[in-house]
Amino acid sequence: MSADAERAAWLRGALDRASHEYYVLDRPSLSDAEYDRLFRELLALEQAHPALRTADSPTLRIGAEVGATHLAKYAHLVPMGSLSNAFSAEELEDWATSGRDVAGADFDRSGFCCELKIDGASMSLTYKEGVLITGATRGNGSVGEDVTANVRTIRDIPLRLAGTGWPALIEIRGEVYMTFEGFERMNTERVAAGEPVFANPRNSAAGALRQKDPAVTASRPLRFFGYAFAVPGTTTLPFSTQWELLDTLASWGVPVAPQRQHCTALADVHAWAHALETVHRATLAFAIDGGVVKVNALAAQADLGSTAGGREPRWAIARKFAPDISETRLLDIEIQVGRTGVLTPRAVLEPVEIGGTTVTYATLHNFDQIAEKDLRIGDVVQVKRAGEVIPQVLGPVPDKRDSAHPPAPFRAPTHCPECGTAVTRGEGEVAVRCPNDRCPARHLEELVHFTARTAMDIRGLSEQRVRQLLEAGLIGDPATLYDLTEGVLATLPRLGDKSAQQLIAAIDASKAQPLSRLLFGLGIPDVGEETAKLLARRFGTMDALKDATAEEIEGIHGIGPSIVASVTGWFAAPENRVLVKTLERHGVNTTEPRRAEAEGALLGKKIVITGTLPTLGRTEARELVEGSGGKVTDSVSKNTDFVVVGADAGSKLDKARTLGVEVIDEAELLRRIGR
């Protein structure tokens, strides 16, 4: 082997390990700069010597070009079946009765493995000698579409299986999905960029997989859960139950869904399904449309076999949930003006219960969607609460529209509803904007954002109070908040001496917030909470950041060109530099605390916080943990050191118990960090 080939092999291994630690374990061992340096070195080697690029090269995740202009067909090694459905406990009992008729007592003796039914796009991953060689859609079950180049961009799909014991040739089946947070963030970014929004996470995931350009797929927040695998011919497997199968997938580096449960009797399955539908579903970070119940023992699965034609296995069934769509009347379409000037329509609905929650408002995303769906004020409309994300209006119910006196079509505004300025719309853009920087609605939203709990956290400055201060002419830009005095505030209606004193105390306390909070609060375009932390931790002070070059900012792992342009552009504006200086003169902190020293009580600990804590807000608890050297993560895994639980902890508590992860309360957390 040549020296270049040896170096490339070493780089692939190092980058694979680093990527797995970063994206799956959430425990990075390489700095961003070191990762980027190794990545660029491997990329340069492969460009100079194309024969060195292997099927599992990390450089393929950036989106290698697809040779054909259409998706090639792929014949699955073993056909992908579909599941029959049970929409009630009675139908689940009928399925069990049929199973007993075939397998006898072995049906119940096996027990059941209960799993989430992810609402995503089915995917089959073919691995040869542990290396991913093909990713294919389900298609008709026998033949799917080859989307390998796109699949390689999904960060939690391993390009090479970890561990040992995997067959030489294997297809791992699972679901590609998007989290609600990722979906909403993507749509928010598309609205800001003037691009059309996506309807729901499932369709977005499926569409992303079929892109001709893998770079487009790579930009979408896709994730993957595995739940099965198939091998051609007869192969000795390293497990005997479905539960062990899932554990084995996880040991190979394949993510598996949370909230699974081993049930010994069908009564336990009913209880699991009821709790999942009525309680736990609302706590999940992604959409499900039910659960899947599988006979646990693989030997019993083989005895049960499939229905005629092999279409549906007798040993598994989907326990579907009640639909989350209801009908109600569209009472009005309100128009909200955001801090960036984007006009966003919102549906005002006749209150309706969907999935146990009363819904009064729903998202409409943009005016093009209103026109495409032909939504009219007064229509009876279908509303979907898509897996606990913001409810959305699917469309009108035409049969319930009065044909003799139909409501008039909705007209998109030509002027800002707040300041009367003519709106603008860039060529090819979906977003309609108010271009007036001094628009009172934009001004209000900017100040509300600055004072929010996740930003400067000024308690008592609600939207109504900020509006009152603006109307009284007492504040202008964020720096003017620090000019307020108790005497001035006490003269306002419905604000007595005690409230004024508390509000001034909260404003003073906000001066101590770290730089990351201030950066987020300033509303720099494209700079969210996590980006603000990355910037603050990298540069340490406001002075260092405002004078940083574009190259220095882009060198931060996770920050792309659009964010770089936003940050440098914001600091280039003279009025923003004046604002920063004024905040500094008022004593507002413009530095980020150093990371915890080696003696931090939670140094190196990986911690999950779930539920409502008695005294600490979620943000405050996170900062206490990080200040003591710990890292707060969103999901529970076997690598989690402990979980801090409060009221209504939900699925994360269940998973911690299943994995044997230590569970503590707020009082114990405070004791451990010495508070």
Catalytically annotated residues: 117
Q: What is the 3-state secondary structure (H, E, C) of 439-461?
A: CHHHHHHHHHHHHCCCCCCCCCC
Q: Which residues pair with 643 in a beta bridge?
A: 608, 663
Q: Can you spell out the DSSP letters for 491-551?
A: TSTT--HHHHHHHHHHHHHHTTS-HHHHHHHTT-TT--HHHHHHHHHHH-BHHHHHT--HH
Instruction: Decide: 132 and 179 in contact? Cβ < 8 Å.
Output: no
CB atoms within 10 A of CB 561: 10
Q: Give the residue from 374, 635, 619, 642 showing the smallest Cα distance to 517.
A: 619
Q: How many CB atoms lie within 10 A of CB 309?
A: 7
DSSP-assigned letter for residue 483: G
Q: Which residue has the tokens 């599941």?
A: 83
Inter-residue contact 216 to 242 (CB < 8 Å): no
Rounded to whole angstroms, what are the CA distances from 411 to 333, 376, 429? 10, 9, 18
- Which H or E run contains 123? strand 121-128
Other CB atoms closer than 10 Å to residue 284's CB: what's the count?
20
Tokens of 606: 């990986």
Q: Write out the two tokens for 198.
A: 């996506």
Which stretch of DSSP H or E encloses residue 44? helix 32-48
φ, ψ for residue 22 (rounded to 5)? -75, -50
**What count of Cα atoms within 13 Å lies in the side-chain half-sphere of residue 464?**
5
Query: Count of alpha carbons within 13 Å of 660, Cβ hemisphere only?
Result: 1
Paired sense of beta strands 606-610 and 631-633, if any:
parallel
- Chain-centroid distance, C-alpha 324: 21
**Structure token pair of residue 144:** 């799917």
